[in-house]
Amino acid sequence: MDAQPRHVVVMGISGSGKTTIATHLAETLNWTFAEADEFHSAENIDKMTSGIPLTDEDRWPWLESIREWLTEQAQGGISTVITCSALRRVYRDILTQAAGEVSFVHLIADTDLILDRMKTRSGHFMPQSLLPSQLSTLEPLESDEPGLRIVNTGTPDKVIADVIEQFELEPSSASPQSSEEAP
């Protein structure tokens, strides 16, 4: 393991493939995985389920709880992979305040492909009707931020190989770390 725990935040709009890529990346690296949706309050989930976009005021406590979780993991010497839309730079700035090294993987895909993915997934509370609000809120990862932008149109294995290569990470042959339950 690195001297300092690392956190890879797989970011992007809903339907960009965050969960698929993040879970496979965590398994490949033998790092702890978390889904940022699990950190949302019941009120936030109810709003989104009803088709109401979240405000910054809705997001601040959510982002702060993710940052706290990342810090707790780093203090325990644990590296993580977490999904988080992290749509605006100010949101990413909150996450980079966590202990450990925080990097972002911004997944990008064509809007039509995103809509197709949203139509076929099951059990997610984010309706397709909120995609325009996510697109209007999105501030793409900038070159001075820690991370990379990857077009997510290939196979998950190809995307993960690109992430591992570009971040110079070491895949593990051990079984994945057990993770503490996210709030």
Predicted local distance difference test score (pLDDT) of residue 29: 96
Predicted local distance difference test score (pLDDT) of residue 130: 64
Predicted local distance difference test score (pLDDT) of residue 96: 98
Predicted local distance difference test score (pLDDT) of residue 176: 46
Q: Which of 140, 105, 102 is nearest to 23 (CA)?
A: 105
Predicted local distance difference test score (pLDDT) of residue 138: 87
User: Rounded to two decimals, what is the model's pTM?
Assistant: 0.84
pLDDT digits (tens, 9 = 90+) for 88-120: 999 999 999 999 999 999 998 777 666 665 566
Low-confidence stretches of the chain (pLDDT beneath 70): 1-3, 112-133, 173-183
Predicted local distance difference test score (pLDDT) of residue 178: 45
Predicted local distance difference test score (pLDDT) of residue 143: 94
Q: Which of 109, 130, 112 is nearest to 120 (CA)?
A: 112
Predicted local distance difference test score (pLDDT) of residue 1: 43
Q: Which residues of 43-66 are buried (b: 16+ CB within 10 A; e: fewer)?
A: ebeebbeeeeebeeebbeebbebb
Predicted local distance difference test score (pLDDT) of residue 33: 98
